[in-house]
Chain A
Amino acid sequence: MKLNELTLIESFEGLRDKKFSSFEITKDCFDQIKKFDDKVKAYITLNEDDALARAKEIDQKIKSGESISPLAGIPMIVKDLFCTTGLKTTGASKILENYIPPFDATAVAKLKNEGAIILGKVNCDEFAMGGSTENSGFFPTHNPWDLERVPGGSSGGSAAALSADMGIYALGTDTGGSIREPASFCGISGLKVSYGRVSRYGVLAMTSSLDTIGPFGKTVEDIAVILKYMAGRDEKDSTTPDAPVDNYSEEIKKDIKGLKVGLPKEYFVDGMDESVREVVLGAAKKLEEMGAEVIDINLPHTDLAVAAYYIICPCEVSSNMARFDGIKYGFSQRDKNKDLLDIYLDSRANGFGAEVKRRIMIGTYALSAGYYDAYYKKAMQIRTLVRQDFDEAFKEVDVILTPVAPTPAYKLGEKIGDPLKMYLEDVFTIPASLAGICGLVVPAGFSNDLPVGIQLLGKRFDEKTILRTGHQYQLVTDWHKKKPLIK
């Protein structure tokens, strides 16, 4: 077995017991990248020299008997949306093609402090706007299970790289499903945390009231370890409450006897893939066998969530993207005769891709004089209704089980020409985003050799219960152990 195939916990145990070195794990990851990434196209930037040097440092510490963190010396994959000191951070946008930030995102800094090693920065939809990674300003990423298909998005590079064993775990972001959908499409586990659980500082902002930061893992057990180090209050992000961070790795060991699992009927809609329905219902049956009680519930405003989201998101996008003006950083189109307005117009016209411009346009329209009540205010009111649906449901159940996407991974190019069709792919992930609750995706089956995940939704800041459910499920199933054969 090559070391890049290890889980985080296996890596830690091997390092602790001196069975292999951090340098060897890191080297095996880069070997795998060199072997397969010209097909998968997950990485935008490699951090090889720095990563190997850091690995040697950690090995020295282990050798001298220093106690190490469970993350020390273990290589991670980082979505190119996280600022990393001295390492190019593009947001998969041409407007930041050569941007090298002089600071780390808090999530990255916290993991680096534990000795985590950055392998490189991976592809995503430009500024996380999209669900297939086809909106990258550079190139699309391919699904390791079938190279003609999308890996999902926006964190498609993270999910594809991890499922192809080009790293031990990965970081992504999830605003409307950007961790959960790619986790499902690529057959790995991924966690969208409750809004505010992990600091957003230093992560390129898309929809500030919805953006969340979270890990992908080869197992839920790995995610439990990573989350503990990422979560918590950060003075640099005023939306992180001082809520206690649970000992997730301990919590997940408890069984799920008597756990109440809700199955919302609004998530089983016409037009969804029959195999997806079967996978979710099969998982429900499994959870019952494990001692959980499955209860039918209603989330009546589900159908309105996509429309509300695609108002709120572009409105906040139009505001967040205003910072890219060709003046402070990033791409700037200027020559001596141009005035300031020309720099703005030309830098933005040539720096942004089609989907970013589209969302800026929608948002600018919805926020322009006379339309605020009809669009943004209305969407925020719908958001209240969606949130209340979950509040009501969670009075009855501990966890909600749903599909992740209506279909397994689709073909590259299949939906890219029709933005509305693409938006409707997010129908099962968006409601939880609007409510700010947490969601875990774990692999639960296959449809024509393509992985299909299930989504476990939990109350705000109750990550421990969905992680427990997911981990217990993985103790009695082996879907998460299946690996793609890259052809």
Chain B
Amino acid sequence: MKLSIQEVEHIAELARLRLTEAEKEKYSEQLSNILGYFEKLQSVDTSNVEPTSQVTGLTNIMREDAVIESGISDELVACSPEHSDGYVKIPKIFENK
């Protein structure tokens, strides 16, 4: 199982990572090794095994749908790299026509 550079580039794009050429080379090799190790699972017959996604046994933990003030909304917005008037600032997404 060998991941090509093109596949690495495709995954990086999906993951929103910009990789250098050296990183692409390195990950192509390392990811191939790691994925190769996963092959050992394919020989196990799991056709009648239910998947375990979590172990708490809890389902649908709800609280009342009511507004609760955090008391720190200004501080939270202030954590963002650019902000003004209580809003997080980002570059323009839509071009003016």
A interface vs B, CB < 8 Å?
99-103, 195-196, 209, 235, 238-239, 241, 303-304, 307-308, 310-311, 318, 322, 325-330, 332, 334, 338-341, 343-346, 348-349, 352, 357-358, 360-362, 364-365, 368, 374-375, 377-385, 387, 419-420, 423, 434-436, 460
Contact = CB atoms under 8 A, between A and B. Distances in A.
Contacts of B51: 377, 380-381, 383-384
A241 B58 contact: yes
Given A195-B56, A307-B41, A381-B49, A361 B15 contact: yes
B79 A328 contact: yes
B23 interface: yes
B84 interface: no
Contacts of B38: 307, 310-311, 375
A307 B79 contact: no
A350 to B, nearest CB: 9
27 contacts: A102-B72, A103-B72, A209-B53, A238-B61, A310-B38, A326-B81, A327-B81, A328-B79, A339-B93, A340-B90, A341-B16, A343-B91, A345-B17, A345-B18, A346-B18, A348-B16, A348-B18, A349-B19, A361-B8, A361-B12, A361-B17, A361-B31, A365-B31, A378-B41, A379-B41, A381-B50, A419-B33
Contacts of B97: none
Of all A-B residue pairs in the complex, the 6 with the closest CB atoms, nearest first, are A380-B51, A436-B55, A102-B75, A332-B81, A238-B61, A381-B46
Interface string B38-63: 10111010100111111111100101
Nearest to A341: B16
Interface string B2-14: 0100011001101
Contact of A387 (B15, B23, B55): B55
Nearest to B45: A381
B61 A101 contact: no
Contacts, number: 154
B14 A368 contact: yes
Nearest to B23: A357
A325 B42 CA distance: 35
A382 B41 contact: yes
Nearest to B7: A365
A357 B51 CA distance: 27
A328 B42 CA distance: 40
A327 B88 contact: yes
Given A307-B38, A361-B12, A385-B49, 5 more contacts: A326-B81, A340-B91, A348-B16, A361-B31, A420-B33
B17 A360 contact: yes
Given A310-B38, A361-B31, A381-B51, A325 B16 contact: yes
B34 interface: yes
B52 A383 contact: yes
Contact of B34 (A99, A209, A235, A362): A362
- Among B7, B46, B82, B93, the most chain A Cβ lie within 10 Å of the Cβ of B46
B87 to A, nearest CB: 12
Nearest to B50: A384
Contact of B14 (A209, A330, A358, A364): A364
A99 B81 CA distance: 10
Contact of A304 (B23, B41, B53): B41
Contact of A358 (B3, B30, B50, B53): B30
Nearest to A356: B17
A322 to B, nearest CB: 8
A368 B11 contact: yes
Contacts of B76: 102
B84 to A, nearest CB: 14
Contacts of B35: 362, 365
A308 B41 contact: yes
B18 A349 contact: yes
Contacts of B30: 358, 419-420
A357 B17 contact: yes
A362 B12 CA distance: 10
A349 B23 CA distance: 11
B9 to A, nearest CB: 11
B79 to A, nearest CB: 4
A383 B49 CA distance: 10
Interface string B63-87: 1000000001001101111100000
A58 B8 CA distance: 56
Contact of B37 (A307, A346, A374, A460): A307
A357 to B, nearest CB: 6
Nearest to A343: B91
Contacts of A241: 56-58
B86 to A, nearest CB: 14
Nearest to B78: A102
A401 to B, nearest CB: 22
Contacts of A379: 41
Given A357-B17, A361-B31, A420 B37 contact: yes
